[in-house]
Structure 1
C-alpha cells in the first residue's frame, strides 16, 4: 500500500429492510475522518412501481446529517416542520443539535413510477460548543452548489472550500466534502486538509499507482498528495477536515462527546413514545404517526397523557 495511504477500508453490507447500504464509517479501524463519523453508500436500489422507501421517524442528537443523491428521490419530514423532497445533486443538511426526529420515505410520484435510489448519507459531529444548538434543516438545491469541470471531471463542492469554490453550507468546523464525477478519463489534484478520505462510488480510481474500485475507501495521510486519476463514468467522494475537538461516542442514531448525553437521549425517546409525543422531549414530524423504537425495545403503542 502507498505510503500516502494510512488505511484501506472495505464497505460492509447492512440491511435496512427494503434495501441495503454499504457502510464504511464508523469502523473499528477508523472511527472518524475530520468531523465525519458515519458514511453510508445507499444503493443503487431498484424499487418497482408500488413499492417505497419507508424509514419511520427516529431521533438524533448532537450531530448533523447530510443526504446527497445521485439518482431517485426521498421525502424528508422532521420535527422543525420540514417536509421536502430530496433530489439528485442537492445538499440536504439536517442539524440535530439538542434533538430532532425525522423520517425518509419515497415521494408519491416515485412510488407510482418506481425508482432507482442511489446516494450517500453521512453524519458529522458538531463541535462541543454547538452540540446543543436548536435543530434546523437546510436545503441547498443542486444549482446553488459550486462546481467546475477540471480535466474532464465535474467537481462539486458540497461543503467547505476547494478549487477556488466555497459551498453555501454553514457548518461551524473546518470541513471538506467534494463530489467528483468523471465525464471522461482525467486527473484532479486533491485539496490539502489534515484529515481526508476518498470513497469510490462507481468506476475506478488510481491513486499513487494503486487502483481502487467501487465500495473502497482510503484514509489519507496528512500533507501534499498526488492527483487522483478517474476512468470515465467514475464517481468519487472526498470527505474530511480538521480533527474534531475530542472523541465522539455513537450508539444507534445518537452521537455525543459525553456518554451520559446519549443515555439522556435514549431516555427522552422512550419518554416521548410513552407520552404520545405531547409535551415530550421529542415530537412527531408532520403527517407522521409511526416511529422506530430503541433497539431491543418493544413496538409499544403510545399512551397519550401518561
Structure 2
C-alpha cells in the first residue's frame, strides 16, 4: 500500500530575540499547508525574573495572525487600538489586511517574576480579495472554544470548521486548526471530517501511521486529507491544521504575505520610511519598532 505521508519535517530552531522557537512552516520543501503559511512553536520555556518577552512594534500585511497559548500570558497591542492580554486557552486573531502594526510583550504584572511560556504563533494567508481589507482584531476566550470528548479522546476546535462544529474565530477561508489529546492508545479515522491539505504536529507522545512511529517535534504532511487514519499512543497530544489551498501563489518577505510582489515591495518602502498612513503607530507602545531587515528594495 502506498503511504499517505507525503512529507516528514523536523521542527527547527529560530531565534526571535529572548529565546528560541521551533519553526514548523515554511520549509523549502513545503511553503504552505492549505492557507497556513507560517507556524512557530514557542517553548515550553521558563523565563527568569529578569527575562521577558518583548517583541516591539512590527508590521504585517496580507495575512491573519493566530496566537494560541498552552501556558503563560502575552500582552497584545496594535495600531487599531486594541490592548488585550492573551492567556492559556484563549485565541488572538488579527486580520492584517492592507496593513497593521502590533507588539507582543510580557504583561506588566509578570515582568519581575518567573513565568512559563508555551504556545503557537500562526499566520494564515488571506484570500486574494481580502488582502487589501481593513485590519481587524478578535479575542476569543478559552471557554468559547468548542471542546468535546469521544471516549478517551478529547477534541478542541481552535479555529475553522470540522466535525460539524464551528469555532468562533472569524476565519476568512475554509480551514481547521484542531487539538486532539488521548489518555490511552486509540485508533482514529477522521479523514471524512477533514478536507484540503492537512498537516499533523506531534506535541507529545507518539502516533503510529502505516506501521511507522512518529514522535514529538515532527510535522507530518498528508497527501490526502480523506485518508487521515492513525493510532495515537497514550498521553499523546497532536495538532491538525489545514484546509483549502489558494489558487494563487503567496509570496513572503519578512512579516509581509501577498499574492502580488509589488504590494510587498511597497510595504517594504512604507515601513522603511515609517509611513504612518500605511502603518500607524500603536497607542501606548510607540517609542520603538523592529527595523526592516537588510534587503534590496526592488524599486523600478
TM range (shorter): over 0.9
Deviation at 1:149, TM superposition (A): 1.3
Instruction: Provide the rounded CA distance (Å) in 1 between the counterparts of 2:154 and 2:21.
Output: 25
Tell whether the 8 Å contact from 1:151 to 1:188 is kept in structure 2 after alignment. Answer: no
* Correspondence for 1:304: none
* Correspondence for 1:300: none
* Correspondence for 2:226: 224
Deviation at 1:186, TM superposition (A): 3.1
Deviation at 1:230, TM superposition (A): 2.5
* Correspondence for 1:197: 199
1:285 aligns with 2:287: no
* Correspondence for 2:298: none
Tell whether the 8 Å contact from 1:2 to 1:210 is kept in structure 2 after alignment. Answer: no
SS at match of 2:104: strand
Instruction: Provide the rounded CA distance (Å) in 1 between the counterparts of 2:290 and 2:148.
Output: 41
TM-score by length of 1: 0.91
Tell whether the 8 Å contact from 1:158 to 1:179 is kept in structure 2 after alignment. Answer: yes
Instruction: Provide the rounded CA distance (Å) in 1 between the counterparts of 2:248 and 2:155.
Output: 31
Aligned length: 292
Unaligned runs of 5+ in 1: 298-306
Q: What's the CA shift string for 1:133-177, capped at 9, x where partnerless? A: 110111111111101112312210112222232111222211111
Deviation at 1:188, TM superposition (A): 3.3
2:242 to 227, 240, 243: 240
Instruction: Provide the rounded CA distance (Å) in 1 between the counterparts of 2:129 and 2:102.
Output: 23
SS at match of 1:267: helix
Instruction: Provide the rounded CA distance (Å) in 2 between the counterparts of 1:112 and 1:255.
Output: 36
* Correspondence for 1:32: 32
Aligned pair in 2 of structure 1 residues 103, 148: CA closer, same or farther (>3 Å)? same
Instruction: Provide the rounded CA distance (Å) in 1 between the counterparts of 2:266 and 2:46.
Output: 38
Tell whether the 8 Å contact from 1:203 to 1:234 is kept in structure 2 after alignment. Answer: yes
Tell whether the 8 Å contact from 1:74 to 1:106 is kept in structure 2 after alignment. Answer: yes
Give me the CA root mean square deviation.
Answer: 1.7
* Correspondence for 1:251: 253
Aligned pair in 2 of structure 1 residues 88, 261: CA closer, same or farther (>3 Å)? same
TM-score by length of 2: 0.92
2:292 to 291, 294, 306: 294
Instruction: Provide the rounded CA distance (Å) in 2 between the counterparts of 1:17 and 1:131.
Output: 29
Runs of 4+ in 1 over 6 A off after TM superposition: none
